[in-house]
Amino acid sequence: MVKVEGLDKLLADHPFFKGMDDTSRKTLAGCARNERFLAGEYIAHEGSPADRFYFIRSGTVALEYHVPGRDGLILETLHDGDVFGWSWMVEPYVWSNDIRAVELTRVFSLDATCLRKKLKKDHSLGFELYSRFVPVMARRLSSTRQQLTDMYGKS
């Protein structure tokens, strides 16, 4: 059985949840699990089901885009305190890129199916969580745009 008290502390200590009330955080902790990935291990693959999302406690991950006939293009590198995996929010709930641990990486993740059920019952929690995710999505899109500009912009 999952020890929710320990997972609640992990959520409380992560910057993404700063200022969130205890009740909401404990509700989310019911969908959480602690995980680790070794250097080079893939956490997700483009096109596979996006059934979790992740909060980096320590380590580094690369968000990669597969380019046929080439090595994966690194769109962004994420570190301690970063969040990744917003594909769980948008149907058809599949990963839009590959995600690979660059070094030993410790994360906690939230199960998307569990979470979507809780958010349907508690719309204020849904609003709270989505309000925190929208800025992450905006930064990620801006980073991708910058990467494309660097690659294809006029010199």
Model confidence pLDDT, tens digit, residues 54-64:
999 999 999 99
Let me know: does 8 contact 25? Beta carbons within 8 Å: yes
Task: Please report the pLDDT score of residue 112 as a whole number.
Answer: 94
Question: DSSP code of 147?
Answer: H
pLDDT of residue 153: 67
- pLDDT, one tens digit per residue, over 40-89 is 999 999 999 999 999 999 999 999 988 788 777 888 899 999 999 889 98
At 1 the pLDDT is 40
The first and second tokens of residue 154, run together, are 């006029």
For 35, phi then psi, to 5°, come to -140, 165
- Residue 19's H or E segment, with its range, is none
- Cα-flanking dihedrals φ and ψ of residue 115, to 5°? -65, -45
Token look-up 């599949």 returns 94
Give the span between the Cα atoms of 88 and 109, in whole angstroms: 12
pLDDT surpassing 70 at residue 118: yes
Q: Residue ranges of the domains in the chain?
A: 33-152
Torsion sign across C-alpha atoms 89, 90, 94, 95:
negative
Give the architecture-level CATH label for domain 33-152. Answer: Sandwich (2.60)
Q: What is the pLDDT of residue 144?
A: 73
